[in-house]
Amino acid sequence: MAEPARIELIVGGQKSGKSRLAEQRASAWLAAAPDRQALLLATGLPSDAEMRQRIAQHQRDRAERLPGMRTLEEPYELAAALRRASAADALVVVDCLTLWLTQALLPPPGVKPVADAAAIRADLCATLQGLPGPVVLVGNEIGLGVIPMGAHVRHFVDELGLLNQAVAALAERVTLMVAGCPLQIKGVCA
C-alpha cells in the first residue's frame, strides 16, 4: 500500500463506511513500520443515552479492529488538539468534522456558540497545512437533499459545505463513501 496522503478527507452519508475506511488507513499506517503511531481524535459528545451507546459501540469496535490506536476526545478545540497530537510518526484520524462543527454552531445548553464560523474554519485549515504528520478527516456530506426549513439548520448546512470545500482544497486525497464503496474524488487511489 502506498504512503497515506498528508491530508485526506473522507466524506459521505451516515453509515456509509467513512469511519471504517479511516480505520483502514490507520491500520495500513501502523502495519507499514513498527515505530508508527495512530490516534483517533473523537469529536462526539455523549449528549443523550443513544449517543452514549453509539460512542461506546464505536469504542468497542475500534478496540477490536485497531488495538494499537489511541483515542483523544476533543469536541471543541479541534485545531489545538491537532497541533498537540500531530507528529511525523503519527497518523491522526479526526472523526468527525460534522460533529465538531455542530457543537461549535449548535452547542449543548450552557455552551456559547461560536460567533465566527469562518474564523474556526480558517484556523483549522491553517493548522492542517502546518502539521508534521498525516491526518485523515471524516465528515458528512449532507448538502445533497432539500433545503432545510429553519434558518439555523440552513446556516449549519451552508457552513458544513464551506468547511468540506476548504478542507478538500487542502487535501491531497478526497474520498466519497457511498453504501460502503469508496469513490475517489481527488488524488491518487490507495
- The annotation places the binding site at 12-19, 42-44, 73, 95
Beta-bridge partner residues of 175: 10, 184
Q: Cite the annotated binding site for GTP by residue number.
A: 12-19, 42-44, 73, 95
Neighbours of 34 (CB within 10 A): 6
Mind telling me the catalytic residues? Answer: 58
Torsion of CA 180, 186, 188, 190, to 10 degrees: -20
Who's near 182: CB < 8 A, 6+ residues apart?
10, 17, 21, 175, 176
